[in-house]
Every structure is written in C-alpha cells, then in structure tokens.
Structure 1
Amino acid sequence: MKQRTLSLILAFCTVVLWSTGFVFTRIAVRDISPFPLGLLRYGSAALLLVGIGLAKRIGLPSKRDIPLFFLLGAFGFFFYQILFNIAMTTISAATASVVTATVPVITALFASLFFRERLGKLGWVAVAIEFLGILVLTLAKREVSLGWGLVWMLAAALFFAAYNLIQRFARTRYTSLQSTVYTITASCLMFLVFLPQAIEELSTAPLSSLLAVLFMGIFPSAIGFLLWTKALSLATQIGDVTNFMFVTPLLSTLLAILLIGEFPDSGTFWGGMAILLGLGIFNNRHRLTFRPKPLP
C-alpha cells in the first residue's frame, strides 16, 4: 500500500473516532464540568498510552525535546480544550463545528507560508467547497450564534492548527507512538490543576457518564491521536490529512441518526454532499489538474 494512501485511510479512521466524541461528550457533561472532564478524558488516555509505551519500550524523550512535547500538549489538548469549553458556554455546537472546520484552512495557509507547501488553485477551490458545505449544513438549521464565544472558538482553532504544524518537528526524531504518548502525557500533567474538582465530581457522577469518559479517553483520544499522528508522519503534505476534518460534522450527523434517532434535514443533505465533493476534489487535485503536454 502506498504511503499516501495509508495516511488518508488513517486520517479517515481518526475523524470517525473523533466524531463519536461529540455524542459521548453530551452524555458526560450532564454530570461532569467541562474542565475536570478534560483531565478525566486525557488522564485515562495517558494511562492507556503509557501502558502501551512501557510494553513497546519506547523509552523517554530527549531532555532537549521535553519543551517541544509540552508545547504540543498545550496547543493540541490543554489550551484547545479550555478555549473550546469556554466557547461552548456562549455559542451553539453548530457554530463551533463551522469554526472547527476552519482548522484545515488555517493549517494549509500556515503550511504554505512557513513550509512552502503548495495546494494549487484546485486545492483551494476544494477547501472553499468543503467550507461552504459546513455553512450550508449549519445555516439551514439557523443555529449560528455570535459573540465572544466565536472569538474563543477561533482561538481554539488556531491552537489546533498550530499543533498540526508543530508535529512535523517531532516526527523527524520520534515515532508516531512516541510522539503521541509524550504529548498526551504532557497535557495530562497540565490538566492536573483540575484534579481536586475532578475527584469531587467523580464521587457523584453516574455510571453512564463515567463510561462515556472512559470511551472518549480510549477511542477518540488515545487511539484517535495515535492514528492521527501516524497519518501526519506519512503524509506528503499536512493538508492531505487535516482536510479530512471537514468530514467530522457530517459523520457526527450520521452518528446522531444511529444513536439518538435525529434525522437530517435538506440542509444537512446538501451540505454533506458539498463536503464529500470538496474532499474528493482535494484528494484527487493532482490528477484533475490540467498539464499541457510538451511540444515535440
């Protein structure tokens, strides 16, 4: 299997796992506050990953790279999660999904500026089509709300885009397993500031919420980021992988149908079609780009 094909498969599997996080987060936040939830989610993920790391004997990172993994943990997990939680107190989930969909655009823009990755005109057209699909999916339900929450969510998107870019510095010296273990463990250490509150709320949380947290720690967090980091390490361009984040709202809608019986409206259908169309164009942009044959 070609390296690029494998990276696309891993990226798609990742966004499938991430999409489940929306449903289980709704279950968990009924009984656990947002910030302690971050500790419990990434704490359980860190325990699993450390166990895997010990079994695989991955060792410890170089002392000079410890700040790098704390930076990745801060950008990709700690600050992102805090800003996301603050934003969700004032904006709807639909608005948040639109802003989150800007992560591939921001990542592609920064990658083109700092790493000279070229998407080409067709690549940018595909990104525009996908983002339009997100807007159609959301605006059809008239759930967009503005305010300071939008600012916090944009800041969260910037942090996650930065995480995707900085990952390339870790992947040159570490395997995807090493990078994921070190990064999530670093973020868990940061989340320990919420430990007293987490202990207090754990004692009163029902089993359903605890199982939801455990699920999110294992699948969307631990396994999801293992796959994501591996996909980033195999990808020729970062945009090939991050572009799959456009599919997350669509997959979340499909999961809502299966798990809680919410059927999509026409806006969801047409928005989803636009997302898939843009994704297809983006991942086949090199084949679709016209290249004139040289004159004999």
Structure 2
Amino acid sequence: MDKKVFLAFGMTVFIWGSAFPGIKVGLESFSPEHLALLRMLIASAALILFAWNRKMKLPDIKDVPAILFLGFLGFAVYHTGLSFGEQTVSAGVSSLLVSTTPIFSAILGTMFLKDRLSKIGWLGSCMAFLGVALISFGTGNSYSVISSGMIWILIAAFGESFFFVFETNYIKKYGFIQFNIYTIIAGTIFMLFFLPGLLTEFSGASTASTLTVIYLGLIPTIIPYFAIAYVISKTGAAKATSSLYLTPAAALLISWVWLGEIPTILSLIGGIITLVGVGLSAVRASESNDIATKRTANNMT
C-alpha cells in the first residue's frame, strides 16, 4: 500500500476512534444536546469557509429537501443520540454499538432499494444483534436487557443508516466531499433548536472540555471525510472501507489510555461477535457489493 494511502487510512481510523472518548470529556461540562450542537456549529463554520474559498456551488433547489432530510438523520440524529448515549455507556462500548450501522443499512437497503442480502449476510446480521445483547449484559444491564444509553446509541446508528442508504445518488451527482458538506450544514440547522442555554454552558465549561469539543468539531467531524475520500480515490471503495472496522479497536485503546476505561470480558466478546457479524453482513450479491462497501465509508463519529 502506498505510504500516503496508508497514512490517510491510519489517520481516519485513529481520529474517528478518538471521537468516542472525546465526547466523554466534553460531557463533563456540556449537556448532550449542547455538546452535539457546539461540535456541529464549529464544523459547519469551518466547512462554510472551505466551501467559500473553493467557490463551491449551492445544491440544486430540487435536491434541498432531500439534503435537509438526510442531514437531519445522518448528523442531527446521529450526533445527538450518540451524545445522550455516552452519558451512561462507556466510550469503547459506544464505538462497538455504532459499528452496527452497516447492519441497519443492509436491512434498509433490502427494504427500499431492492438490494439483496445473502444468506451469510442475514446470518451476520443475527450475529451482530446477538453481540449487542452480550455487550448489554456485559455492561451490567442484564435485567433491562438494553439500557436507555444503548437505545440512544442504536437510534443514532439507525439514523446514520438511513443517511448511508439514500445518499448514493447524491454522491454520484455532487461528489463525496461536497455532499457531506451540504448535509453537515443541513444537520446543524436542525440542531439550532438546542441553542438556548449554550452560551451559559460554554462560559462555565472547563478548559479541557472546551478544547475537546473544539477538537471534535474541527477534526473528527471533518478531516476523516477528506482522508477516506482520498483513500477511496486511490484504492476503490471496497478496499478503503473493509478495514474501517478497526475504528472500535482504536476507540477502545484510546479510551483506555485517555479515560482509564476497561471494558468487561463479556462486552469484548460481544463486541467481537458484533464486528464479525457486521463483516459477514457485507457479503452481498455481486451486483450490490460496491454499494454496500460505500455505505460503510462514513461510519464516523
């Protein structure tokens, strides 16, 4: 693998993995909704400057409703749900739960786009949800099966899955980077509902939390999109995205070093089963393989 490609890929995995513990640090001073909003405001401001500098054209009027809808699901729902979920779920376990996004995408694809999921793919889906159950038991939620925090994160993953399923035609039209800029800004518009009280929290936040949220807005929300787009352009979608399942491993390692989080053995076993299931679910009929792998490319935080 070319050194530049390897560097871009490694940077993508590391940065996305670092977002999960970063959210934990941000939650020390910010409420979940304000953390998500501030992160998106920072990202949108940077992307607007980038788009202005590149003289990027506005989207076609007829595409605006779809862009708003996909921005709402892929960014407003995803980031808000993840922030609420990490109030009670560890950063490492959160990354494992988010890895179910391709499963939801595969199921939605069969429902709405007539994609075909192979028998092995359906087996993988069942394995992934079994892994989620084991993660739940491993986090001490054996009586409630799934905690409220896990439900929030699964909602986040489900919202992101809708984004991945229906973005394909727009990416073909606008390109990977340009379309994501549109939808990030669109998602931020919906999140302005959380604006009241943000300034008060910001003024009272610790330096560590504030710097971490700035990092979340400028780095994990933006940089990996450019990096993975570069990798895809050099290696193709399948090769570029096949190893992005390393993101939970990076998140677990960074959470251990940064936060001192040590997942339980049962959660790790559940996580391994989930990741194996997600990998198997990518086994599609040959005509839909490329679409399936492209949908995992944005599995970000």
CA distances 1:179-207 after superposition (whole Å, capped 9, x unpaired)? 11111112222222333421222112121
Structure 1 pair 263/190, CA: closer, same or farther in 2 (3 Å)? closer
2:121 counterpart (120, 123, 144): 123
Structure 1 pair 41/258, CA: closer, same or farther in 2 (3 Å)? same
Q: 1:24 Cα deviation (Å)?
A: 1.0
Q: How many Å separate the matches in 1 of 2:65 and 2:51?
A: 19
2:48 counterpart (41, 47, 50): 50
Count of residues paired in the alignment: 278
Q: 1:158 Cα deviation (Å)?
A: 2.7
CA distances 1:234-289 after superposition (whole Å, capped 9, x unpaired)? 647xxx95x877655443222222223444543355345445544665667889xx
Q: Are 1:22 and 2:29 counterparts?
A: no
Structure 1 pair 165/282, CA: closer, same or farther in 2 (3 Å)? closer
Unaligned ranges ≥5, structure 1 = 288-296
Structure 1 pair 281/58, CA: closer, same or farther in 2 (3 Å)? same
Q: What TM-score does the superposition give when structure 1 sets the normalisation length?
A: 0.75
1:81 counterpart (73, 79, 82): 79
Q: 1:21 Cα deviation (Å)?
A: 1.5
Once the two structures are overlaid, the 10-residue window that deviates more, 56-65 or 211-220, is: 56-65
Q: 1:169 Cα deviation (Å)?
A: 2.9
Aligned-pair identity in percent equals 27
CA RMSD of superposed structures (Å): 3.9
Once the two structures are overlaid, the 10-residue window that deviates more, 56-65 or 117-126, is: 117-126
Q: 1:131-280 alignment to 2 at 5 Å?
A: 131-143=129-141, 145=144, 146=146, 152-226=152-226, 235=237, 248-275=247-274, 277-278=276-277
Alpha carbons 1:247, 1:276 under 8 Å: kept? no
Unaligned ranges ≥5, structure 2 = 287-301
Structure 1 pair 279/15, CA: closer, same or farther in 2 (3 Å)? farther
Alpha carbons 1:83, 1:155 under 8 Å: kept? yes
Q: How many Å separate the matches in 2 of 1:147 and 1:139?
A: 10
Once the two structures are overlaid, the 10-residue window that deviates more, 179-188 or 274-283, is: 274-283
Q: How many Å separate the matches in 2 of 1:163 and 1:228?
A: 17
Structure 1 pair 22/107, CA: closer, same or farther in 2 (3 Å)? same
Q: Which protein has the larger Cα radius of gyration, Structure 1 or Structure 2?
A: 1
